[in-house]
Chain A
Amino acid sequence: MTAGSPALDDFELIERYTDQPSRLPSEQRAAVERACSEVPIAYALVDLDANLRLAVGWLALTPRFVVSLPAGQPPIARPRAALSACSIDRGLSCNTLRIEFESLAGPVCGDTPHPGGPDRGKAPELAGCPPLLARYTQRQRSAVEKLVAALEGDTAGDAPASAADADRSYAAEVVRPLRNAQALVSRSGLFIIARLLRYLLPYRRQLILGLAAAALITLCMLLPPYLTGYLIDRVLRPVQAGAITSERAAHLGWLCVGGMTAVYVLRRAAAWTRLRLMAVLGELVARDLREELYAHLQKLSISFYSRKKTGSLITRVSSDTDRLWDFLAFGVVDLSLSVVLLLGLCTVLISLDPALGLLMALPLPAIVLAIRANGKRMERLFTRAFRRWSNLTDVLSDTIPGIRVVRAFNQHTREARRFSDANDAATADFNRIHGVWTSFWPGVMLVVELSIVLVWAFALPRLLGGHFLGPPLSIGTFVSFLLYTGMFMWPIEVVGQMARIVNRATTSAHRVFEVLDTRPEVVDAPDPLPVSGLAGHVRFDDVSFSYDQVRPTLRHISFEVRAGETIGLVGPSGGGKSTLVNLLTRFYDVSSGQILVDGVDLRRYDSGQYRQHVGMVLQDPYLFHGSVLDNIRYGVPGATFAEVVRAARVANAHDFVCKLPHGYDTLVGERGHTLSGGERQRISIARAVLSNPRILILDEATSAVDTETEQKIQEAMDRLAQGRTVFAIAHRLSTLRRASRLFVIEDGELTECGTHLELIQQQDGTYRRLYQLQQQLHDGI
């Protein structure tokens, strides 16, 4: 986030959402400096004391010391050089960190502030020191563990190096869960509305015309009551009293009727113009937003997609932009119109008759407030009802897919009862909502109608010629007055709902702008090298990587693979195999070290062009909605039919495709679910064959199919692998026998490397153990 950005930074988020300090307070900072004469370069809040009460203690690192600052106690400084081990006991909401130190010579334990003078900064002597203990809730977990990683000298990411870095690092870790759950929050709703309105600028002509039409509608609404009053007072009553001739009255009367007709026609024309212009304008803005959003999504790093749920991203492109269309097309105009209309009505009423006008205008703020309060009440009611509704759908999503289990265990009566309970509870809450709104709006109407009755009560003596609260009142003025009062309800309702309308729009705008403001983590160099052809020589040079910059996933991996070699990656799940190939495809950038392909750092290449030379066949092949043909030539849209068939033959897909009712033109359905797993896999292999990559990644490509299909896929992959550099991940080790070499990746490290025969001869080797286990399992079958 850039300085001056309207979005809240990490420190402001901590202040807004938590009750903990956003930085290490100056007293604690000074205490650390007094204790060890060094500035803290990393710290974390330790928010539970020894009695498990919430507290504000700190744990800080300086270049040479670990300093514990328990709440209300003096700091305890220990030299990092004497550190022997760190361990964490994880609980539900309390984690306990133990930092142990080796015993050093001398009796001093370092539990007192380090003295100043000539020995400042020297390590205190330790002898049988008790470990430093820190208890903290899950909220501090990430910050504490980053500290531990730095303490163990095992940071895969950027270890904080200065006091400012320490502040930033602490704040970033504390707000990380919030950032993952929430869109970027703006300092003010006005910023976000202003930013949204900027999207209207390209369409300012339509906007001005739309607003002018809206203003015209307001004016047209105010004119007919005035003309009605004029007709009564200046035409009908004078003619009845004989003050003017009937010809003159008829002339004036028809003029008024004609005027009114013109006003109504004008009003409808303005309404049509406004609706048409603003609806189209809103649609254009929503289209622009959707396009910008989708184009930006295509550029974002894979890590962004790991953090955000797919459903949430789809909602942002679809529902959120639709909601913004609604706001821009109608909300903005309706809100401004309503405010203008309300002010206009009050002005007109008070100018027509100050006493009666005030009588009508005074209850307005109370009515607006009541509508607002009712809106809040309804929100609570809806929250409860939606929760009950969610319980109901939970029962459905539990039992419908699991209906065979329900039947098998004869639990349909219990499930029916469970559904019935949830259904009754939801119905009760929705009925409560109906009870509230059906009584609120008649109540509001009653208040408005009572105001009119009150107006009548005050007006009647004056209509009869009296002077009660003003001079005698003409019938025409009073009729105009009554007609104006009838126009109050619509703007009152809109203004009462204003907060909700603006809130909904700003929430959607936040969600959309969050995506637009997210910068891709994998960015090409300013002058990237074009990739015209690759040999496929790969070198990992001391590569470390961490997804969260806290826990390292790969540590100091180094190896070299010649072009055309096939490398089998084996090891326990979660060991880092998939991460390694993700780095090779440059879905992520390394945290440290470098990956060289044909002698060039991967980060120097144009990533788009580089990926054209990398093919992937994954465990769960992804097929797009479309024909088999479209899917095979997804990476090479210009491939000829003959090339597609050749690729399908290599992939052992041609025969089954020919059996499909429409051959290569068969639609495979959403995500390819009309095909079996093995068929989908062979189509994805054909896709890889057609794109002819120099580096090929096979990630558990045969794990989800039966033995016969596996054989066909294996044959296809063997053909595909010829002449390419291949990295193949497989749990079934027998599939990797043809690999040139095998790499065993365990706990983020490359622990074994060699051919099948070499590794099988290592007595205590992991590969040998895994291979023997699989052999035993196979023999057992």
Chain B
Amino acid sequence: MLEHIPSAAANEVQTQTRLRSSPRLWLGPDQRLWLEHAGRTVNVQPVRCFPWSAPGELISLRDAEEQEHHLVESLEELDPVSREALASAMLSAGFVLEIEAIHGVEEDYEVRIWKAQTRHGPRTFQTRLDEWPWVAPDGGHLIRDLCGDLFRLPPLERMDPKSRRWLWAYVG
């Protein structure tokens, strides 16, 4: 359709067409994410399809009934305001506790106790003895504690020597 139009203009037309058909997102005063798309406005929650492999791509926008209203293939397809709103909503939806240092790992009756410094503050948590950290696609590791909270360990080489020593038996 666009082969007769000079390439720069064609790009502009493509961008405009894409933006016109792309959804509009914004955060309400109650921090809820709202989606306006195809003439409908609905409150949605973002769900990353690939939370670790491709966190910024393929984000499913779903309502309270788990119905998908739009799949954002890339943040680039959104206008800046929508992009910012979505990024902000994803912060809490995709929040995991990011470990910066390990201060101790001890075993107690049937549980392993981890004392960690996270980016969000200090945290002591427990895992089952047979629950091991698993490798995340970015080279770090993920640990799920007994309560279901997820903790993310950066790649070992980015951690201090003491933390590496604590983690030696559990990671790598």
Tell me whether A52 and B120 are in contact in the complex, defined as CB-CB below 8 angstroms, given that A96-B31, A390-B132, A507-B109 are known contacts.
yes
CB <8 Å contact, B109 and A182: yes
A17 to B170 Cα, complex, angstroms: 20
* Residues in B neighbouring A137, C-beta threshold 8 A: 97, 147, 149
CB <8 Å contact, A93 and B124: no
A146 to B164 Cα, complex, angstroms: 39
CB <8 Å contact, A48 and B120: yes
Q: Which residue of A lies closest to B92 (CB)?
A: A94
In the complex, which of the residues A130, A138, A507 has the most CB atoms of chain B within 10 Å of its own CB atom? A138
Judge whether B29 is part of the interface by a CB distance below 8 angstroms: yes
CB <8 Å contact, B113 and A91: no
Q: Which residue of B lies closest to A385 (CB)?
A: B169
Against B, the Cβ 8 Å flags (1 = close, 0 = not) of A410-431 are 0000000000000000000000
CB <8 Å contact, B169 and A384: yes
Which of A52, A133, A181, A182 interacts with B95 by CB under 8 Å?
Answer: A52
Q: How far is the CB of A319 from chain B (nearest CB, A)?
A: 13
A409 to B116 Cα, complex, angstroms: 43
A163 to B169 Cα, complex, angstroms: 44
Q: Which residue of A lies closest to B121 (CB)?
A: A54
Judge whether B39 is part of the interface by a CB distance below 8 angstroms: no
Q: How far is the CB of A375 from chain B (nearest CB, A)?
A: 13
* Residues in B neighbouring A380, C-beta threshold 8 A: 168-169
Judge whether B123 is part of the interface by a CB distance below 8 angstroms: yes
* Residues 85-117 of B contacting A (Cβ, < 8 Å): 91-97, 108-111, 113
Q: How far is the CB of B120 from chain A (nearest CB, A)?
A: 5
* Residues in B neighbouring A194, C-beta threshold 8 A: none
Q: How far is the CB of B53 from chain A (nearest CB, A)?
A: 15
Judge whether A775 is part of the interface by a CB distance below 8 angstroms: no
* Residues in A neighbouring B128, C-beta threshold 8 A: 181
CB <8 Å contact, A19 and B123: yes
Which of B113, B123, B149, B169 interacts with A138 by CB under 8 Å?
Answer: B149
Against A, the Cβ 8 Å flags (1 = close, 0 = not) of B137-172 are 000000001111110000000000000000011100
Q: How far is the CB of A82 from chain B (nearest CB, A)?
A: 16
Which of B45, B95, B111, B149 interacts with A178 by CB under 8 Å?
Answer: B111
Judge whether A537 is part of the interface by a CB distance below 8 angstroms: no
Judge whether A87 is part of the interface by a CB distance below 8 angstroms: yes
* Residues in B neighbouring A355, C-beta threshold 8 A: none
Which of A19, A93, A390 interacts with B130 by CB under 8 Å?
Answer: A390
Judge whether B60 is part of the interface by a CB distance below 8 angstroms: no
Q: Which residue of B lies closest to A176 (CB)?
A: B147
CB <8 Å contact, B95 and A94: yes
A510 to B108 Cα, complex, angstroms: 11
Judge whether A89 is part of the interface by a CB distance below 8 angstroms: yes
Q: How far is the CB of B85 from chain A (nearest CB, A)?
A: 14
* Residues in B neighbouring A122, C-beta threshold 8 A: none
* Residues in B neighbouring A93, C-beta threshold 8 A: 95-97, 148-150
CB <8 Å contact, B109 and A91: no
A17 to B109 Cα, complex, angstroms: 11
Q: How far is the CB of B1 from chain A (nearest CB, A)?
A: 40
* Residues in A neighbouring B169, C-beta threshold 8 A: 380-381, 383-384, 387
A54 to B116 Cα, complex, angstroms: 12
Q: How far is the CB of A407 from chain B (nearest CB, A)?
A: 27
Main secondary structure of the interface of B (DSSP, over half): loop
Judge whether A92 is part of the interface by a CB distance below 8 angstroms: yes
CB <8 Å contact, A182 and B122: no
* Residues in A neighbouring B148, C-beta threshold 8 A: 93, 138, 141, 177
Judge whether A110 is part of the interface by a CB distance below 8 angstroms: no
* Residues in B neighbouring A339, C-beta threshold 8 A: none
CB <8 Å contact, A387 and B126: no
* Residues 168-214 of A contacting B (Cβ, < 8 Å): 177-178, 180-183, 185
CB <8 Å contact, A177 and B147: yes
Judge whether A659 is part of the interface by a CB distance below 8 angstroms: no
* Residues in A neighbouring B149, C-beta threshold 8 A: 93, 137-139
Tell me whether A182 and B30 are in contact in the complex, defined as CB-CB below 8 angstroms, given that A53-B121, A387-B132 are known contacts.
no
CB <8 Å contact, B97 and A183: no
Q: Which residue of A lies closest to B31 (CB)?
A: A133
Q: How far is the CB of B130 from chain A (nearest CB, A)?
A: 7
Q: Which residue of A lies closest to B111 (CB)?
A: A182
Judge whether B32 is part of the interface by a CB distance below 8 angstroms: yes
Tell me whether A507 and B147 are in contact in the complex, defined as CB-CB below 8 angstroms, given that A17-B124, A52-B95, A181-B128 are known contacts.
no
Which of A17, A183, A390 interacts with B113 by CB under 8 Å?
Answer: A17
CB <8 Å contact, A91 and B95: yes
Tally of chain A residues near chain B (CB < 8 A) = 42
* Residues in A neighbouring B95, C-beta threshold 8 A: 48, 52, 91-94
Q: Which residue of A lies closest to B118 (CB)?
A: A54
Judge whether A55 is part of the interface by a CB distance below 8 angstroms: yes
Q: How far is the CB of B4 from chain A (nearest CB, A)?
A: 47
In the complex, which of the residues B29, B118, B148 has the most CB atoms of chain A within 10 Å of its own CB atom? B148
A48 to B93 Cα, complex, angstroms: 13
Which of B94, B110, B124 interacts with A19 by CB under 8 Å?
Answer: B124
Judge whether B51 is part of the interface by a CB distance below 8 angstroms: yes
Tell me whether A91 and B94 are in contact in the complex, defined as CB-CB below 8 angstroms, given that A98-B32, A178-B126 are known contacts.
yes
Against B, the Cβ 8 Å flags (1 = close, 0 = not) of A376-403 are 0000110110010010000000000000
Judge whether A586 is part of the interface by a CB distance below 8 angstroms: no
Which of B93, B118, B168 interacts with A92 by CB under 8 Å?
Answer: B93
Judge whether B9 is part of the interface by a CB distance below 8 angstroms: no
Which of B30, B45, B123, B146 interacts with A54 by CB under 8 Å?
Answer: B123
Q: How far is the CB of B128 from chain A (nearest CB, A)?
A: 6
* Residues in A neighbouring B96, C-beta threshold 8 A: 92-93
A401 to B24 Cα, complex, angstroms: 48
Q: Which residue of B lies closest to A94 (CB)?
A: B95
In the complex, which of the residues A87, A92, A94, A383 has the most CB atoms of chain B within 10 Å of its own CB atom? A92
Judge whether B5 is part of the interface by a CB distance below 8 angstroms: no
In the complex, which of the residues B51, B149, B150 has the most CB atoms of chain A within 10 Å of its own CB atom? B149
Judge whether B2 is part of the interface by a CB distance below 8 angstroms: no
A350 to B11 Cα, complex, angstroms: 96
Which of A91, A130, A141, A507 interacts with B110 by CB under 8 Å?
Answer: A507
Which of A54, A390, A510 interacts with B109 by CB under 8 Å?
Answer: A510
CB <8 Å contact, B93 and A91: yes
CB <8 Å contact, A181 and B150: no
Q: How far is the CB of A141 from chain B (nearest CB, A)?
A: 7
Tell me whether A387 and B93 are in contact in the complex, defined as CB-CB below 8 angstroms, given that A18-B124, A87-B64 are known contacts.
no
Q: Which residue of B lies closest to A429 (CB)?
A: B169
A504 to B92 Cα, complex, angstroms: 42
A182 to B131 Cα, complex, angstroms: 13
Judge whether A511 is part of the interface by a CB distance below 8 angstroms: yes
* Residues in A neighbouring B32, C-beta threshold 8 A: 89, 98
* Residues in A neighbouring B91, C-beta threshold 8 A: 52
A297 to B34 Cα, complex, angstroms: 52
* Residues in A neighbouring B97, C-beta threshold 8 A: 54, 93, 137
CB <8 Å contact, A183 and B110: yes
A510 to B121 Cα, complex, angstroms: 33
CB <8 Å contact, A94 and B93: yes
Which of A91, A139, A381 interacts with B92 by CB under 8 Å?
Answer: A91
* Residues in A neighbouring B126, C-beta threshold 8 A: 17, 178, 181
A178 to B146 Cα, complex, angstroms: 7
Judge whether A461 is part of the interface by a CB distance below 8 angstroms: no
CB <8 Å contact, B124 and A185: no
Against A, the Cβ 8 Å flags (1 = close, 0 = not) of B63-95 are 010000000000000000000000000011111
Judge whether A131 is part of the interface by a CB distance below 8 angstroms: yes
Could you name 12 residue pairs across A and B whose Cβ atoms are closer than 8 Å? A53-B121, A54-B121, A87-B64, A92-B150, A93-B97, A98-B31, A98-B32, A133-B31, A137-B149, A141-B148, A178-B146, A387-B169
Which 8 pairs, one residue from A and one from B, show the smallest C-beta to C-beta distance? A54-B121, A94-B95, A138-B148, A139-B147, A177-B146, A384-B169, A91-B93, A383-B169
| Additional 20 contacts, C-beta under 8 A, given A182-B110, A383-B169 | A17-B126, A18-B124, A48-B120, A52-B91, A52-B120, A55-B121, A93-B95, A93-B149, A96-B31, A100-B30, A131-B30, A133-B31, A182-B111, A183-B110, A384-B170, A387-B132, A390-B130, A506-B109, A507-B109, A507-B110
